[in-house]
């Protein structure tokens, strides 16, 4: 991995859903290892739902923490679902009542995902 990173001037790594990782300690060890690299060469973005244990573990790494609330996520999901229902060729032929029912059902089950 080190050789791959050093082969480029700048490297960006994205770690998504850290809260869902089965091997969180392994992932944190990887972040510790990355933290030892040249910060001008490496950009790291770690994404996770709010998790107090992870926050405690990651606080020593510095960086910027941004919180996106469930209301923001829910509205993004709602807009995406509405757009798909309105513009998908097959779905836009369905009656409005069916599309509204689909939207409501998906939003109830989305729970911020």
What's the pLDDT at 112? 58
Check: pTM over 0.85? Answer yes or no.
Answer: no
| Three state DSSP letters for 55-96 | HHHHHHHCCCCCCCCHHHHHHHHHHHHHHHHHHCCCHHHCCH
What mean pLDDT comes out for the span 61-73? 76
List Cβ neighbours of 77 (8 Å cut-off, separation of 6 or more).
106, 107, 110, 112, 113
> 10 or 111: which carries more pLDDT confidence?
10
Is the pLDDT reported for residue 2 higher than 90? Answer: no
68 pLDDT above the threshold of 80:
no
- The conformation of residue 18, written as its DSSP 8-state character, comes to G
Does residue 7 carry a pLDDT above 70?
Answer: yes
Confidence of residue 46 (pLDDT cuts 50, 70, 90): confident
Average pLDDT, stretch 7-29? 89
Other C-beta atoms within 10 Å of 99: how many?
19
């Amino acid at each position: 991995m080190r050789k791959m990173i050093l082969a480029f001037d700048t490297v960006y790594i994205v770690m998504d859903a850290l809260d869902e990782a089965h091997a969180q300690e392994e992932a944190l060890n990887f972040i510790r290892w990355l933290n030892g690299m040249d910060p001008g060469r490496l950009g790291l973005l770690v994404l996770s739902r709010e998790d107090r244990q992870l926050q405690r573990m990651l606080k020593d790494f510095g960086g910027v923490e941004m919180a996106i609330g469930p209301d923001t996520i829910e509205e993004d999901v709602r807009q995406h679902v509405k757009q798909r229902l309105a513009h998908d060729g097959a779905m836009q032929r369905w009656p409005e009542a069916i599309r509204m029912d689909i939207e409501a059902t998906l939003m109830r089950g989305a729970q911020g995902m």
